[in-house]
Homo-oligomer: A and B are copies of this chain.
Amino acid sequence: MRRTERFLAGRQRERFSGDDLDHFESMINGVKEHQDGRFLVKQKTWVENCHLVIEGFVFRTIQVDTRRRIVGLNVPGDFIDLHGFVLGQLDYDLVAAGPVKVGSVPRERLAEAVSQRPAIARAMWLATLLDGSIHRRWIQILGQLETPRRIAHFYAELHARLELVGRKHAGVLRTPFTQIDLGDMCGVSTIHANRAVGKLRKLGVCDIRRGDLYTNDWAELKRYACFDDGYLHGGGTPPPAADYRLRA
């Protein structure tokens, strides 16, 4: 299986030519595995390589004083630090959430690809736009839903994103996330995250145990979470035929 197999899978990946896909695969100059909690990239340092998640999950965190906020989550197929390629540095830290496998692309190779392959340039831009879209939804969720629904929405999103990259989860979605993580994501205390998890259990929406979510009705869970997958821009919504490639 290609290391870049999941990049933009479910979201216009089909626009790549076979040659582009080959080239893209060749840009990965190394793969590393990291343990849970490992800092992959620190904010405010010069980004020399960009990283693609191949296996596992990565948090984007911002730490202020003693308190950590998780401002984003990345799944297999996601680039995690493209911002650093253009801006030079990141405004967040990257932390392995559970064991993770990431591929590395040197910035010169990326610069070259972006300058010479319009499809890849466009794809990179697209990837960062998808990030933005998810960010906006998180902002909405944080301000609009009570904690149990935030947690449900988070898992619903994860479920949908994993499905886009080819991973179906029926009765259980396994993750390495602790309730501490859930709290940091939802902007609430750990204890409150625990009570919210308890409420989801009591309501019969789902059962979250040590990060693993059990449910036999994803549709009901998504309804409860007010989840609407439009913002993920999955498969069915490619724009009309008009040309919007970076180069003609």
Contacts and interface: CB of A to CB of B under 8 A. Distances in A.
Interface residues of A, number: 65
Interface in A51-106: 60, 62, 64, 67, 69, 71-72, 82-83, 85-89, 91-92
A30 interface: no
A44 B231 CA distance: 10
Copies in the complex: 2
Interface of A: 44, 46, 60, 62, 64, 67, 69, 71-72, 82-83, 85-89, 91-92, 107-108, 111-112, 114-116, 118, 121-122, 124-126, 128-133, 135-140, 142-144, 184, 186-188, 226, 230-231, 233, 237-240, 242-248
Given A87-B237, A124-B125, 10 more contacts: A69-B139, A87-B239, A91-B136, A92-B136, A107-B244, A111-B242, A125-B125, A125-B128, A143-B187, A246-B246
